[in-house]
Structure 1
C-alpha cells in the first residue's frame, strides 16, 4: 500500500510539474507576444522607445527565466518518470514474487492435504482391521470359554 501511495504521489507530482511547465510555456508565449508589441511601439518616440526597450529586456529576462524553468521542469519530469518506472518494476517484481510464493504455498498445502487424506484413509483401514481382530478375538474368547466349560463339565463327570 505504501508503494502504491508513493507511486500515486509521484504521478501527482509529475502531473503538477507538467501543468506548471505548460503554464510556463503559455506564459512564455504570451510574453513573446508582449515583447513583439513593445518593439513595434518603440519606434514612435525615443522616450517610448527607451521604455519599450527596458520592458523588452524585462520580458526577455522573464522569458529566459521561464524557459530555464520549463527546461528544469521537463528534466524533473523525466527524472520522476524514470523513478516511477523503476518503482513500477520493483512493484511488478514484488507482485511476481508474491504470486510465486502463493503458488508454492498452495502446492505445499495441496501436497500436505493429500498426505493427510492418505494418512486418514490408512488410519481408518487400521481401525477397521482392529475392530475385526477384536471381534475375532471376542469370538475366539467365547469359544475358548465354552470349551473350558465343556472340559470342566466332562472332568466333573469323570470325577464323580
Structure 2
C-alpha cells in the first residue's frame, strides 16, 4: 500500500510538521533521558501500529547506542529484565496514556505514583508531553499510510530544515 500523501511535500503539512518538531525539541532538550524518550515513543508506536514511527524510533535509538536486546523487548517490557524501574514506570505511563479508550481510568494512580517516585516535575512534564506528542505523530502517519522501512537516522530533522 502506497502512502496517501506526503505531508512534507504539502505546504500546510510542512508548516505543521515544523511546529510539531519544535514541540518535540522542547521534550528532547529536557532532562528526561533520551533513552527513555525513545523507549516510550517506540512502545506507543507499537500499540498504535505505526510502522513509520517504529522504524524511526528504533533507528534513532540504535544510532544513539541503544542495545538491540532492549529494543526487541520493549513490546514485552513487563516480562523482561533489561529495563530499570524508572523506565518501567515510564513505559507503563506510555501504555496507559496511549490506551485511553481501553481503560476507564486512563493512567492509574499506581502508575502515576511509580512515575512520581522516579522523575522530577520537569521530567514528568516532558514524559506526559511526549506521550501526547507521539500519539499525535502515530495518528498522522497511520492516517496517510506513511510506511516504515525507509527511515534513516536524522532524516526527519533534514526534511524540516527546508
What TM-score do you get using the length of structure 2 for normalisation? 0.27
Higher helix share: 1
Which protein is bigger by CA-based radius of gyration?
A: 1
Q: Whose RCO is larger (CA < 8 A, sep 6+)?
A: 2
